[in-house]
C-alpha cells in the first residue's frame, strides 16, 4: 500500500466514523490534520459532555491495527479509539470502539509478552516503537455505548 493510499484510507476512516456518530445523534467534528492525538471531537446533543476520538483504519478485514509506542501511555477517561476495517471496500466498514485505557494496557502487555518470547530461530526480539492492537474475539465491535455520551 502506498503512502497516499494509506493516507486516503485514514481519511476515509475518519469520515466514516464521523458519519456514524452523526447518524447516532451525536455532534462529531473532524479536527484539523495537525491536531495531535484527536481526530474527532464528539459531544452529545446538548454539548454537556465531549470526548476525543483517535481513529485507526485498515483497508482489509483483519482485526488488527498498528500503533506507535506512545499508545502505551496515551490515555484519558474521555479519550477513545475507534478502529475501522474498510473491508477492502466491500460492504460497510466495521467499527471497534475501545477506551484509551484499554488500548494502553493491551499494547503495553502484548508488547512485553512479545519481547519475552523468543523469535522463530530462538533469538531475542529486538525492541521496536511499533505496537499492535488486536480484537480477535470482537469484544469491542460496535460498542458505541462505551462512549457514554
Give the pLDDT confidence of 69-107 residue by residue, as tens digits. Answer: 999 999 999 999 999 999 988 889 999 999 999 999 999
pLDDT at 119: 84
Domain that holds residue 79: 3-147
Q: What is the pLDDT of residues 36-55, one digit of tens each?
A: 889 999 999 999 999 999 99
Q: Is the dihedral of CA 55, 58, 59, 62 positive or negative?
A: negative
Residue 3 confidence class, pLDDT cut points 50, 70, 90: low
Query: Which residues have C-beta within 8 Å of that of residue 92, sequence separation ≥ 6?
Result: none
| Count of all residues that appear for the chain in the document | 149
CA distance 51 to 97: 13
Q: How many domains does the chain have?
A: 1
More confident residue, 126 or 95: 95
What is the domain-level CATH number for residue 140? 3.40.1350.10
Residue with cell string 475501522 = 84
Residue 6 confidence class, pLDDT cut points 50, 70, 90: confident
Residue with cell string 476515509 = 12
Distances (CA, A) of 78 to 4, 48, 142, 149: 31, 13, 18, 10
CA 21 to chain centre: 15
pLDDT at 71: 95
> Which grid coordinates are listed for 76?
484519558
Spell out a b/e string for 103-140, using b for 16 or more CB atoms within 10 Å of the CB, else e.
bbebbeeebeeeeeeeeeeeeeeeeeeebebebeeeeb
Q: Is pLDDT at 1 greater than 60 in this prediction?
A: no
**Pair 40, 53: CB distance under 8 Å:** yes
Strand order in the sheet with 50-58: 27-30, 40-43, 50-58, 79-85, 94-99
Amino acid at each position: 500500500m502506498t503512502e497516499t493510499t494509506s493516507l486516503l484510507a485514514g481519511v476515509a476512516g475518519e469520515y466514516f466514523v464521523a458519519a456514524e456518530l452523526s447518524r447516532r445523534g451525536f455532534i462529531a467534528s473532524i479536527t484539523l490534520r495537525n491536531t495531535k492525538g484527536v481526530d474527532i471531537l464528539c459531544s452529545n446533543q446538548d454539548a454537556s459532555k465531549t470526548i476525543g476520538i483517535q481513529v485507526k483504519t485498515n483497508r482489509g478485514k483483519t482485526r488488527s491495527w498498528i500503533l506507535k509506542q506512545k499508545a502505551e501511555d496515551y490515555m484519558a477517561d474521555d479519550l477513545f479509539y475507534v478502529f475501522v476495517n474498510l473491508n477492502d471496500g466491500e460492504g460497510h466498514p466495521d467499527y471497534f470502539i475501545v477506551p484509551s485505557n484499554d488500548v494502553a494496557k493491551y499494547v503495553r502487555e502484548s508488547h512485553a509478552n512479545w519481547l519475552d518470547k523468543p523469535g522463530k530461530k530462538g533469538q531475542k526480539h529486538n525492541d521496536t516503537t511499533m505496537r499492535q492492537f488486536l480484537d480477535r474475539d470482537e469484544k469491542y465491535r460496535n460498542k458505541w455505548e462505551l462512549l457514554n455520551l
